Structure 1
Amino acid sequence: MDVGLAILVIGVAAAAAAFCLLLVGLVYSEAMNCDVPSGVESPTKLHAIHCFLVGMAMVGRILERLGLCDQSRLVRWLADRSLRRRGQRAGLRIKNATFAGVPVRVYEPTAASAGKRRGLVYFHGGGWVVGSLETVDDLCQYIAEKSEATVVSVSYRLAPEHRYPAHLDDCEAATRHFLTVAEASFGVDPRRVAVGGDSAGGNLAAALCQRLAKKENGHLLAPCAQVLIYPALQMADFSLPSYQQNHAVPLLLRGRMAFYFLHYLNGDMSVCQDVLEGRHVPAELMLRYRKWLSPDNLPAEFRARGFCQQTPPGHDGEVYHIIKAGLEPEVSPLLAEDDVVRSTPPAFILTCEYDVLRDDGILYAKRLKDLGVPVTWQHIPDGFHGIINFRKGWLSFPSAERALDSVVRYLENL
């Protein structure tokens, strides 16, 4: 072998080895900073999933800094292939389509139906940054088959290429289109169509129901229910008990939630720590939000584990100016006025014990109930954020199927 070529090969091999060692070190460091609670069934599995996701993000970050690719696009690509459909259930007809310019995937049960079917318009999670039709394909197939409902999965625009309100606008456009054509084109009763989603998708579903409630004039079709699976519902307070208790629990760490909200709004990460510390909310607004966000509104058992009441810090007017759109109800549905919340449809809300977003869901369920809106609340005591995506394979968790089955039961009774 030519000496120059040999040196090149050795250099490449050394660089690759150094890269791998760096990556392993970074993943190990991140993984050691997480806290997998013993209450989670199979905590070793959760640790393994967390390490894989951290590694994916690290590779993207390194390659982006080297100018080789965009981190968000790489993570999306890897997530799509990790959760890509492994097959199609025999009892479903699946097709891609476009509703009002928005890409969707429609799941229709093929079995004969005694009457018009129910429907669900579904918005995937992923912090408004990642996620796609592929990442929720398996769960949409499961819901459609088990509930015998037609499911429409929506591929809304993502950050950082697009900011609020692009995501919500796409969800509204696709939902309105489906409600208009549901009966004629799909044999679905438009009066029995729910909207739903997980995490950021749950945020979009709740915000959309509020937006449509404000636009409702007696002639417009609207969703009959909202299915909110561990939804993100407010960015005013990151010190709620669930944020304190689960701040380092995979798959959603406390700091990442602020990161996702800021990406959704404007991408200004310079204020991330200020937001986590609560410096973004003026005192008069925090006083107003207290009636909805007070930990005293939570059942006592959710305040017992590692919670300390914190004194709000002084607010920073510049930080507030940067994030103030995030305190609007279309980004933080939990902060909407009573007359708007009261006008939204019945809700199914699923929460997980080991999830920073647990209290968002519980507090919203209380608000809805107090205002006379029917609520079905399902709590997963050993669940963590993102659990519904781990229903199959060697990294599956039994509570994932239990969680999805509770969604199915709710849809069956619409």
Structure 2
Amino acid sequence: MRFEGFAVVLLAGALTSYYVYSPVPSEVEEKWKLVLTDCFFRTLSHLADFSEVLGLKDYMGVMMFITFVEGVVPVSDERVLVSEEQFDGVEVVVYQPAQQDASVELRRAVIYFHGGGWCLGSTRMGPYDQLARKLVTELNAVVVSVEYRLAPAHHFPVQFEDAYHVVKHFLQNSVLSQYYVDPGRVAVSGDSAGGNLAAAVAQQLQQDPDQKVQLKAQALLYPVLQALDLNTPSYQQNQHMPILPRTLMVRFWSEYFTSDKRLFHAMMANAHNSPESATLLKFVNWSAFLPESFRQAYNYTAPPVVENESSGPSSSPQRSMADPRASPLLVPDSVLRSLPKAYVLTCEYDVLRDDGLMYVTRLRSAGVEVTHQHYPGGFHGALMFTMWPSDFEIAHRMTENYIRWLQLNL
């Protein structure tokens, strides 16, 4: 019996070790901390899959547990005044310096869009609340954190429209005056899907002939920028990496557009492009826009173009993924030329790395001032891991560098 008991314990330990372990490259900073953090995310993902198969709750409904467990109630303190408001019908949390003296110098402002694949996340999560407070205190800035509606309850373009309406509302002179904000010192920013919204809003705003006040800067943190090619070198290299494996990013994209599971399967095969998006593939040709050092041994092959069929994904999602409001990388150079200066953060071990790198290349070619900060040991979502028990040194470094750029450029 002793031997049998020992064998059971040994087997249980081996199975646990196998489950916990993730094939994380040694170059990743604080590797084992990331492995343990990812174990939580993978467990929740497995539970979400199981729940969906049983018809108990959809996948994203279960994954929203991450949002709830990180939730906080944004409250004012001695340095930061916090208020929950509605800007043109969209919920926002406004953070501003507690000192409300109209005689002081006009302030900077950052309009921030949270990440979460357009399906998860909230301004009321601890890491976003903490980041907003740091921006207020270190920049003497007003921060508008946007609570845009989420998929699958709301599909594209709802998230973009919420983001755009908030920015348009805030950039009215009367609103800027209310918060003592300098009209010439406003930036949009966001991480991951929030970076997508920030980039798309910046593009659309400068094409609006009625918009008088324009943005001074855009700060994009490991942004997702295109849905046409989901087989770039970074998608291939990092398909099993924490915190955003390829399968999850594809699921986010498909849920953003539709609840039709056929689109997910088509996107997983990278066989989701319609003839109408074929002419736009030139803008995501990574053999042209990706620096050679990031191409490694990968050979470029253009994604196949498939005709719309009754058995395939509907044409509406296919039109949406070719829309620059969803895929900001797809705009021509003429749109890029008038964009505000940009800060782009990318991480080596991130499926979205090449989206950011290609955008940097295209922005610079169009004459836009770009600061690109790449983290060779970084992973997707790293900047949000600033709180116990997932407190990463790289997250604090990213935050410091990001705020320093805003100090110098906003």
**Which TM-score applies when normalising by structure 1?**
0.85
CA distance in 2, matches of 1:80, 1:117: 32
Query: Does structure 2 conserve the Cα–Cα contact (< 8 Å) formed by 1:182 and 1:190?
Result: no
CA distance in 1, matches of 2:61, 2:92: 20
> 2:12: which partner in 1?
none
In the alignment, which of 346, 367, 385 is matched to residue 380 of structure 2?
Answer: 385
Query: Does structure 1 conserve the Cα–Cα contact (< 8 Å) formed by 2:278 and 2:305?
Result: no
Q: What CA deviation, in whole Å up to 9, does each residue of 1:99-128 have, x standing for no partner? A: 111111111123578410000010100000
In the alignment, which of 332, 355, 366 is matched to residue 350 of structure 2?
Answer: 355
> 1:220: which partner in 2?
212
Secondary structure at the aligned position of 2:390 is classed as coil
> 1:196: which partner in 2?
189
| Pair 1:35 & 2:23 matched | yes
Amino acid at match of 1:323: Q
When residues 42 and 87 of structure 1 are mapped into structure 2, their CA distance, relative to the original with a 3 A threshold, is farther
| Pair 1:173 & 2:161 matched | no
| Pair 1:334 & 2:334 matched | no
When residues 57 and 330 of structure 1 are mapped into structure 2, their CA distance, relative to the original with a 3 A threshold, is same
Superposition pairs of residues 250-329 of structure 1, within 5 angstroms: 250-281=242-273, 285-286=277-278, 288-290=280-282, 292-304=284-296, 307-312=297-302, 314-318=304-308, 321=315, 322-329=317-324
When residues 397 and 148 of structure 1 are mapped into structure 2, their CA distance, relative to the original with a 3 A threshold, is same
CA distance in 2, matches of 1:191, 1:315: 44
In the alignment, which of 81, 99, 113 is matched to residue 93 of structure 1?
Answer: 81
> 1:105: which partner in 2?
93
Amino acid at match of 1:184: S
> 1:405: which partner in 2?
400
CA distance in 2, matches of 1:229, 1:314: 30
Query: Does structure 2 conserve the Cα–Cα contact (< 8 Å) formed by 1:278 and 1:315?
Result: no
In the alignment, which of 116, 140, 143 is matched to residue 151 of structure 1?
Answer: 143
| Pair 1:245 & 2:233 matched | no
> 2:11: which partner in 1?
none
Number of matched pairs: 386
CA distance in 2, matches of 1:89, 1:142: 13
Query: Does structure 2 conserve the Cα–Cα contact (< 8 Å) formed by 1:349 and 1:377?
Result: yes
Q: Is the deviation greater in 142-151 or in 374-383?
A: 142-151
When residues 86 and 95 of structure 1 are mapped into structure 2, their CA distance, relative to the original with a 3 A threshold, is closer
Query: Does structure 1 conserve the Cα–Cα contact (< 8 Å) formed by 2:97 and 2:137?
Result: yes
Write 1 or 2 for the structure with the bigger share of helix.
1
Amino acid at match of 1:392: M
Q: What CA deviation, in whole Å up to 9, does each residue of 1:263-284 have, x standing for no partner? A: 1111222232432333223579
The gaps in structure 2 that reach 5 residues or longer are 1-14
Secondary structure at the aligned position of 2:271 is classed as coil
Amino acid at match of 1:377: H
> 1:16: which partner in 2?
none
Query: Does structure 2 conserve the Cα–Cα contact (< 8 Å) formed by 1:235 and 1:332?
Result: yes
| Pair 1:186 & 2:176 matched | no
When residues 31 and 168 of structure 1 are mapped into structure 2, their CA distance, relative to the original with a 3 A threshold, is farther
The gaps in structure 1 that reach 5 residues or longer are 1-24
State the superposition RMSD in angstroms: 2.6
CA distance in 2, matches of 1:67, 1:292: 37
> 1:128: which partner in 2?
118
> 2:50: which partner in 1?
62
Q: Is the deviation greater in 68-77 or in 242-251?
A: 68-77
In the alignment, which of 65, 79, 91 is matched to residue 67 of structure 2?
Answer: 79
**Which TM-score applies when normalising by structure 2?**
0.86
Query: Does structure 1 conserve the Cα–Cα contact (< 8 Å) formed by 2:74 and 2:129?
Result: no
- Per the TM alignment, residue 292 of structure 1 is displaced from its structure 2 partner at its CA by 4.4
- Per the TM alignment, residue 327 of structure 1 is displaced from its structure 2 partner at its CA by 1.5
Query: Does structure 2 conserve the Cα–Cα contact (< 8 Å) formed by 1:240 and 1:295?
Result: no
Query: Does structure 2 conserve the Cα–Cα contact (< 8 Å) formed by 1:80 and 1:134?
Result: no
Secondary structure at the aligned position of 2:263 is classed as helix
- Per the TM alignment, residue 177 of structure 1 is displaced from its structure 2 partner at its CA by 1.4
CA distance in 2, matches of 1:301, 1:348: 21
Secondary structure at the aligned position of 1:191 is classed as strand
When residues 93 and 67 of structure 1 are mapped into structure 2, their CA distance, relative to the original with a 3 A threshold, is same
Query: Does structure 1 conserve the Cα–Cα contact (< 8 Å) formed by 2:273 and 2:305?
Result: yes
CA distance in 2, matches of 1:243, 1:182: 42
- Per the TM alignment, residue 201 of structure 1 is displaced from its structure 2 partner at its CA by 0.5
